[in-house]
Amino acid sequence: MVARVPGDDSELLRLRAEVALLRDELTTARTAQERFETRLAKMRAARNEAQKSADVLSAALAERLRIDGSARGRKRSLLARRQGAPTAEEQRELELIRSSPLFDAGWYLRHYHDVVRSGEEPGLHFLRHATRPIRAPGPDFDTARYLDDHPDVLDEGVNPLVHFLLSEDGRGADRYPPEV
């Protein structure tokens, strides 16, 4: 048998407490590392999405410049040929959409790459194609929610943002749905 020396128990307790403290510190460090890795993964995904958007926009701009360069002297613009000129009613609605803070052409193009690739003017595209598929005109207008709240809009064939802007609730509004 090993003889016990007085005071050894206190040293053992101190060492056990130190090991427990080190384990806690290690757990805290691992948790912090996991949070960091999660944030890093989100940042990488956002960077990749931004790069994808930049690539699409750059390619579309290069194509647009190439086409516009070869189309000099023609009467109608490239966008008018691709989309067809707006009717008088569409022109009024288009001006309403463009003047609203709820329509953000840059945001629209960044989120709907098919519009960029098509070369269509974003405001006119949204006016004509807001519901097939459902698209938002910007970050502050939830088209799907508006259509859920106002199902008659689809039956009337009215653009949801135009309907909202012409309604009493839409006058001076800076978002839909409004913040509560």
For 111-135, the pLDDT digits (tens) are 999 998 888 899 999 999 999 899 9
CA distance 179 to 72: 48
* 67 in the same domain as 106: no
* Residue 3 belongs to some domain of the structure: no
* Residue 141 belongs to some domain of the structure: yes
- Specify the number of domains making up the chain: 2
Residue 145: burial class (beta carbons within 10 Å; 0-12, 13-18, 19+): middle
* 143 in the same domain as 110: yes
Q: Are 102 and 176 in contact (CB under 8 A)?
A: yes
* 161 in the same domain as 91: yes
- Residue 35, pLDDT above cutoff 80: yes
Lowest mean pLDDT of 13-22, 75-84, 88-97, 152-161, name the range: 75-84
Which carries the bigger pLDDT value, residue 21 or residue 70? Answer: 21
Which carries the bigger pLDDT value, residue 117 or residue 150? Answer: 150
The pLDDT value recorded for residue 71 is: 54
Instruction: Tell me the per-residue pLDDT of 56-102, one tens digit each, with 9 for 90 and over.
Output: 876 776 566 566 555 554 544 444 456 788 999 999 999 999 999 99
CA distance 29 to 40: 16
The dihedral built from the CA positions of residue 157, 161, 163 and 164, taken in this order, carries a sign that is positive
Task: Give the rounded percent of residues in the chain with a pLDDT score beyond 90.
Answer: 62
**pTM of whole model > 0.75?**
no
CA distance 170 to 161: 9
* 125 in the same domain as 68: no
* Residue 173 belongs to some domain of the structure: no
The pLDDT value recorded for residue 76 is: 47
* 91 in the same domain as 145: yes
* 53 in the same domain as 83: no
Which two tokens mark 81? Answer: 């040929």
CA distance 10 to 141: 67
The pLDDT value recorded for residue 36 is: 93
For residue 36, give its domain range: 8-73
* 61 in the same domain as 13: yes
Domain end point (choices 73, 103, 119): 73
Which carries the bigger pLDDT value, residue 117 or residue 152? Answer: 152
* 149 in the same domain as 92: yes
